[in-house]
Amino acid sequence: MESEENYVLLEQINQPEDLKKYAVEELAQLAGEIRQFLIEKLSATGGHLAPNLGVVELTLILHYLFDSPKDKIIFDVGHQAYVHKILTGRKDRFDTLRKYKGLCGFIKRSESEHDVWEAGHSSTSLSAAMGMATARDLKGEDNRVIAVIGDAALTGGMAFEALNHIGHEKKNLIVVLNDNEMSIAPNVGAMHNYLGKIRNDKTYKNAKKELESFLKKIPSIGGKLASAAERLKDSLKYLVVSGVLFEELGFTYLGPVDGHDLVTLNNTFKQASQMKGPVLVHVITTKGKGYTPAEVDSHKWHGITPYKMESGQVVKAVGNPMYTEVFGSTLIELAEQDQRIVAVTPAMPGGSGLMPFAARFPDRMIDVGIAEQHAATLCAALAMEGLKPVYAVYSTFLQRAYDQVVHDICRQDANVVFAIDRAGFVGADGETHQGVYDISFMRHIPNMVMMMPKDENELRHMMKTAFDYNDGPIAIRYPRVNGVGVAYDKELQSIPIGTWEVVREGESYAIAAIGPMIQVALDAAEHLKREGINVRVINARFIKPLDAEMLNQLARERTNMIVLEETAVLGGLGSSILEYYAQHDIYDMRVKLMGVPDYFVEHGSVKEQRQEVGLTAEEVALEIKKMKPRIQTRAK
């Protein structure tokens, strides 16, 4: 942290109760210090800057007015909880933010008693709030429950399910709608338009005040006249603000409120805390507030790598294009040739590399908002109508659409292309975002084909393969890393479904690997060669179907095999190989599985995460040396 001269008030804040010794008006200086602190610290570590700059005053008032952890403050997603972390005793650890064994970039229950709900995916806070409010009532306690949810997260279907339940049960809780008109990318959809109407409708607010003032001047309103007055107010709502959605769902609606006006926020939340039943406080905030680069481009600054604080210039590592970029450029290339190709994404056009595609083919780009389930079923229907939909989605978000993948896509054998980004370890985003489960939850589904490229050139060929394939769903998974740096073939060609390739010859031992693990296998083989051990390295690029011919050959040759994958061992590629041998009564194979063990791997660099679980060339070489060579029978 900088000197006490720069952070006069912030130095005095170590727990939420420390806020309560100040007048509300004095918190404005603290808000400024917190913004400067965030801008300074994240310039070194990177992280979610714009969302946190937008909720400084809101978070201050929540902790000023309520008594955490007795009162439960639940942050949807959690990437906007840095201010909460600062106020709850963790400001001295911000140099470790998102680093290995350091401060988590999301809410983490093991970090603090004030972190009451963990989430890296959106739209869960309202269900959690309903659960905590129900538990409170069953236990006879009297604490408050406050859920903070963004306008983008409110588009998630799970949020609507919770709104419906909360409004029906009339539980005492507060929903804070943090409305900044943004998720990661600009918001889309009818809910976004509805909130915009509420934000901007001064006519309704002025007319309502005039009506209430008129009614108060009447000496006595009772009986039928009182009922008529209430109906008149309701009619005015419907006349001026279409829908009045939240009040119809059973909430008392307060707002819109300026999310950067401390006094108004304080008064509004005092009012909300005294009301019975569910209350929705609609707070208008500016994403990136207080830092010009983040205000101008809050999309870019949602999650940012290290940058120069004064200029806002991002410090970029020099390297080969990321797989995401290669996917985006190749998709344009293929879409130029095939007008049936349509891209679908759940609120991740930037992260999935689709912005250039959207600019080139605006009518063939569909951003459904935070609605992974809807996106999957939409793709199924597009495919049935003869189009070629590509569902571009992070591995961690695809798991939210599991039922739709099974029921609507695979069961109906819909010809959908899955572009599964962030497959494998994701580094600083950590355990809530690790893309290590998609093989386990997809390969067992009938009709599914799955593949993973060894390099960016093979990714291009796999995309050609996927769009040439007409027999059902097909998935390509690729990692959140830079490409290997290989040259591209001029002509794209389809790869025969279910075929592997030997990328390095050897005998007695073989490593079957996928994706980035192929380079790890090659490094291990090179190390072992110096010790006189020649290891065959296989690019097991098709996870489903397997290359039965090559597996049978390895069995005939009595080859010792390691299966190397940056995915969950349970249900992964290695499991499928063992299943194959068991199903074909091949019991004398020696197969060692190396992948991600049965626990959640936390945040850090990808290199550190691989080292933690033993996915390194050194560990692979050690495992090979533990295997004794066997007498081989050469295949005829």
Would you name the residues annotated as active-site residues?
Answer: 287, 372, 400
Q: Is 593 helix (H, G, I), strand (E, B) or coil?
A: strand
Helices and strands, number each (H, E), in the chain: 24, 17
Asked if 392 and 350 touch (Cβ cutoff 8 Å), the reply is no
Q: Is 557 helix (H, G, I), strand (E, B) or coil?
A: coil
Asked if 349 and 167 touch (Cβ cutoff 8 Å), the reply is no
E-only strand ranges, 37-173: 72-75, 145-150
**d(Cα 465, Cα 456) in Å, to the nearest integer?**
14
Q: Are strands 535-539 and 417-421 parallel, antiparallel or unpaired?
A: unpaired
Q: Is 4 helix (H, G, I), strand (E, B) or coil?
A: coil
Tokens of residue 463, six digits: 């995309």
**d(Cα 590, Cα 578) in Å, to the nearest integer?**
10
**d(Cα 382, Cα 392) in Å, to the nearest integer?**
14
**d(Cα 545, Cα 111) in Å, to the nearest integer?**
43
Determine phi and psi for 170, rounding to 5 degrees.
60, 35
Q: How many other CB atoms are there within 10 angstroms of residue 413's CB atom?
A: 16
Closest CA to 159 of 76, 39, 262: 76
Asked if 398 and 427 touch (Cβ cutoff 8 Å), the reply is no
Distances (CA, A) of 582 to 40, 302, 370, 494, 585: 57, 48, 41, 31, 5
Asked if 156 and 347 touch (Cβ cutoff 8 Å), the reply is no
Maximum CA extent, the chain:
105
Sheet-wide strand order for 501-504: 501-504, 535-539, 509-513, 560-568, 590-596
Rg (CA), the chain: 28
Q: How many other CB atoms are there within 10 angstroms of residue 132's CB atom?
A: 20
Closest CA to 192 of 205, 209, 179: 179
Tell me whether residue 267 is exposed, middle or buried, using C-beta atoms within 10 angstroms of its C-beta: 0 to 12, 13 to 18, 19 or more.
Answer: middle
Cα of 57 vs its chain's centroid, Å: 25
Asked if 41 and 69 touch (Cβ cutoff 8 Å), the reply is no
Residue length, the chain? 636
Tokens of residue 121, six digits: 């995916």
Amino acid present at 390 = V
**d(Cα 398, Cα 408) in Å, to the nearest integer?**
14
